[in-house]
Structure 1
Amino acid sequence: MLKTKLYPYQKEGIRFAFRAGKSIIADEMGLGKTIQAIGTAELMRKHQFISSALIICPTSLKYQWKKEIERFTDAKAIVVEGNHLTRKVLYGAEEFYKIVSYNSVCNDIKILKSLHTDFLIMDEVQRLKNWNTQISKAARHIESDYSVILSGTPLENKLEELYSIMQFVDQFCLGPYYQFLDQTVVRSDTGKVVSYKNLNAIGEQMKNVLIRRRKKDVALQLPGRMDKVLFVPMTEQQRNMHDEYQSIVSQLVFKWTKTRFLSEKDRKRLLLMLSQMRMLCDSTYILDQKTRYDTKVEETLNILRNVFESGDEKVVIFSQWERMTRLIAKELDVLGVRYEYLHGGIPSEARKNLTDNFTELPESRVFLSTDAGSTGLNLQVASILINLDLPWNPAVLEQRIARIYRIGQKKNIQVINLVASQTIEERMLSTLNFKTSLFEGILDNGEDTIFLENSKFDKMMDSLKVVAEPSEEVDGAHNRMAGCSIDLNDNEEKVVGETAVLQTTDTDSLALLEEETPEEGVTEVSTEKKSSVSAADNNPEQLLQQGFSFLSGLARTLSSPEATQRLVDSIVEEDKETGRTSIRIPVSDKESVAGILNLFGKLLAAGNKT
């Protein structure tokens, strides 16, 4: 049924939801509500109770759900996105799981008036805020035979929100709203809510449809450390800049593949482009402090809100970029959350005060740090670590984690790695499985001897042919143009499945994963690519075949308005200052462009003579 081992409390949650038919799983953050919802759907599918499932979640989690479903089950999942007409068609697609954002389903309900699904999953439902919002009202027009509602909001907080959530499961369970408020809310003379009452009675009313476990309740079942990779989408602005730099990297990789040589200038340019691509995975603010486009900051705040609402746990947040930590600090100031902030500009004598405050003050909930604080600090008072970005040197990553995961640690530790989806970050993670010693010293501020030793540089470039090149996703949702792409889908899909171990096991599995990385397959593919290019130069039939292949692919793209628009967006640029529009097409080198222009010149000359 599920391709993973479940903890006993997770099995209990699946059985509870299966028996209830419609239920709320309100486990504390980090206990695996997602896998319990998927497990319930799979159990109902096995018993032929349902033939489809609709998942509604925040926009940033759509592709996270898709990855989790396809990793843990044999079922297919499709993301319902695009314009309204496209989404209408996708709701009826043959895939068992359909995934849609709250905003999209709200717009669709306005037009379709209602939606029906056999099985409904609503994730992060507490983000609906209250039951009077348009999204919440629209969601109540979704008809389902069975449902699982996921929320990490505890029973002790925001009872009005709990009432709203209960409407998706059993609208009669808690009685009329006015009566519910009268029985549970204690107000001051001025009408301000000061406390709640009769909580045990409310819990008794909901015991057949709501299940909630805290980490301390199931601590003996949990491993000492749990690692989770959370894939976060980019904004359009981030994506455009990232792909522009990726195009340059692709050209340099192609140039190296063709000549097995890059000048020192090209090597430094390659390093710069790779570093800027990594920065863009976090925020455009790191490169350009006049703009700010990102999604990792808001996703981090959502995680922190869940932590703060769920109890008194403390969080450590790391980023390689000081400007990224600055953005988080600014948002924490807005929230009024006490935090300690360590970066390279903090003198060593002041660092002890930061750690003492974080350890001793209950109101100090967050320790925010660059990699300047990744060694020597003892932050065992924290139980959650968020990596806003992953260092490409595994040793640096483990140094971060060792700040809270040390000998004598009595808490269960959760490590959350934020990875920008469809980027160099994800390809590095999924394709090479942290096998990044080749990059040590280049992208993590170490020694740059790799640029002096050709043998090491050659190995790095072989890896970059996989990491830096764009990969075509199965669903085609993020296909974009970039030069000299090498199709490595089969290898990437295989390794993505293997990296799942990282989310459920400790670091001892890293060595095993390294052995399983299919380096030979990568080499074979790149060799085949090179040989096909040289063969085309001498084989007219193969050259014609490649030409027809290009034309047929172009025809398929132009037959779809959405694909055509993506093609136009990827090659057309507009100068915001001058308003001038230009076409940008990645090419291998200047010689190729010169050859094409010479050919056109000869054709035009021949046409004029006739």
Structure 2
Amino acid sequence: MKNLQQFAIGQRWLSDTESELGLGVLIDVDERAISILFPKSDETRVYARSNAPLSRIVFNIGDMIQDQEGFEWQVLSVEDRGGVMKYHAKRNDENGDEVIKDLNETRLGAHIQLSKPLERMLASQVDYKEWYDLRIQALLMQANMKRSPLRGLLGARVGLIPHQLYIANEVGTRLAPRVLLADEVGLGKTIEAGLIIHQQLKTGRSERVLILVPDSLQYQWMIEMRRRFNLPFSIFDLTRTASIKEHDPELNPFSTEQRIIASIDLMLDHPDLHEQAIEAGFDLLVVDEAHHLIWSEQEGGNDRYDLVEDFANKTAGVLLLTATPEQLGVESHFARLRLLDPQRFNDLDRFLAEEEQYQQTAKIAEVLMSDMPLEEGQLASLEQLLGHPIQDEPELRNRAIHELLDRHGTGRILFRNTREAIQGFPGRDCLPVPLPRPENWQTEGKLREQMWPEELQIDGAWMEHDPRVSWLMNALRHELKHKKVLLIARSGPVVESLESALRIHAGIRTAMFHEGMSLLERDQAAAYFAEDSYGAQILLCSEIGSEGRNFQFASDLVLFDLPANPDVLEQRIGRLDRIGQENRIQIHVPYIEGTAQERMFRWYNEGLNIFSQISPTAQTLQENFIVELKENLLADTPEFEPLLEQVNEQRLQLEAAMQEGRDRLLEYNSCRPQVAKRIVKALEDYEDNSLVPDFIKRFMSATNIDFDEQSNGTVIIRPTDQMQVQGLQLEEDGMTVTFYRDQAQTREDSQFLTLEHPFVESVMELINTQSFGSTNVALLKSNAIKAGTMLVEMWFKVDVIAPKVLNLGASLPKQLIRVLLTENGQDLSEKIASHILQPYTQHLDGNNARQVIKARREVIEARYAQALDMVKAQLPQIQEGAQQHYEKRWQKEIDRLNYLKQHNPSIRQDEVDRLVKHQQEGLGLLKQLSISPEAIRVLVSVNP
């Protein structure tokens, strides 16, 4: 069999990343994209032609092929007809008569077996012992992974934060989830969305994902998906779409990639692109900054709302992200829920009435979650809500809480964690640094010129008279000398000027981070800053430094200037004030006295109180008072003091109202502590016992991949000219990796290697689709077995070709079957486990191995046939067990949702119908189990 790279309709191709789909047929091809139909899985994939992860399948003379009726044929000759192969082949019919026939490759069956251990063994193609051992270990690891409930959660470069993992597990495991993620700022909504996307993709629940964001967030999302989740997304802007159309005016640009990030403004400004994106179709839609989607019962939606509604109506899964679910009013909150389930949320008045009822439910739940005894009236209300009486006992109270949570109004589609509920934030302190005003400082003119005069002198001349520069140098030499300091300013030129002055004139170790640097340069800067002993003392960032990167190991933040927007200011502070921060944040704010800078500082500090705590009302208040604010920033007026008092008073009132309206039942439902703890514990246990580090290092040693273990715990991996395997996800320049989660979070330049990392997945895929390590001849040093005795060890995989989303492998009681036979046919499979043999086996050199095979060929063939019969005899029992497990697993969730649907209208009927469909589809496919031989080893006993 060989690989080719010319596309023609009718050719057979295999997915490099989803071999479980079976053998696909090319059904459409154009200049940029190709479409592959996988008949066995009944799925069609569209790939970009330039980088399609596909292998062309062409069989050679002597190969065995299977037609669509399941008959096996031996290839006699091969003819290429315009890129599509015709095989001249033979087989014996049921009477034993030879049948010869021409088979076009379009008539081949979907099942394909690339590893043929027996044929390789009999042809004396013997692999190294280490390769054989690696193959078996990989197969066992993959089998365990298919059964693991942690699939999709392992590979993300994120901390094990309970509430994030709870939401990811709760939402990511759903079919076509439609939810609103509304955690407060700093709690990680983007990470939660990324975890859900990652899990949906890894489990096959989604294949095509569209992320719609404001222009300014496109790059941040692309970096976040790539860095944290190893998910490459393509940014589709006007240039990208125009380029695709230029090459092929008839091609839909959005069909050329599976994962796309696009700006909402792009769609609004270009209706044709909006229509094409809708036409291309996606499985999952993600919308960030959803609070900009405005709707009212009288006027309908704004243009953004209508656009997202159009997508939401045609996309099965929808994630909306906003930090202000109710801040803009109940009507706006209802509008976002309406996008998720228009049937359920179709009447605002009814929604308001239901919310009032759920407030009473939440109050009762709050008593349940406390240690307070339940009063008679509360017990009666609980009985009415639950439909059965309860006793005031701890276990029954806990059960009642969970029943209320399942039935709670928006609890299934709205997740909102608050800092107060999550806790674990050390707090932050504002350290103002008032500096005397230089004589030539501008105090009149445009606000931009007064606030940020340094941006007008890109040559850096402003530094000579700006007192903030000398203050910064002095602070870094003295009170901040032994601390890691993050500085954020508005623009790249300002950062470059400051960095040069600090490094050259003050001798301070610095690192820079701005939009003019490449991604690799930014990674290196962040890594240098993270170095404990010899790293940079200060990292100087432009505004991009307040997006997407977290530096919790530092606790001193210098705001060299102040942004005009409170949300941007909160983003800056949020680089340090996040989950995982162990120290109080020290916010240093230098400003020039008697200028717009001082007034802006006072506005943020005294009016909005944004330096001391997260201010959920800041953006709304600033928008409400924007006219008065601008007037007072431009000039020092007597109205400024009353304005600060008025804004502060309104802020306190709004925050009190929000606190009073806190839905603690919803907060509890957004992170059920016991469930979250179990998920975290399972991940910790898995990582503590992970076999990945040992496996990958052995694999690289065995295949001549260069790796260099560093003193800091990272590993540098590089390809070599002597590599014995091809097709791995390994860049030419190599990569720096770590196997440890904590290190991966602090070292931005290191990739986190897990079973779900593309490099490890490519190693596993190589083992699945190629003959790597499928044969071996070894010596068995044992006194218990007579010298010269031969044993044959064989491994078989029980598999079923099906869409990934069904995850049928998890229901198979056995995915791998090992058979160990003596040369006389005695079955030792149960008596001698594989790991028991391991210490006593030793590789046999090639010449002697070939002599053993030649001398015992007939015995090897006979034992293989015997083993195959033994495995086939187990299939009915395996099939029955798999069907029972699969039906029970899905039925449990179907029954649960049907029950909840009687009490909670947020359970959608289409969600239940989808579960039933998958259950029936899976049960049908489990009737078609197949067996594939994976490895064979001949062991020859010798005296130690």
* TM value normalised by structure 2: 0.26
Query: RCO higher in 1 or 2 (8 Å CA, sep ≥ 6)?
Result: 2
Q: Quick check: which one's strand share is greater? A: 2
* TM value normalised by structure 1: 0.39
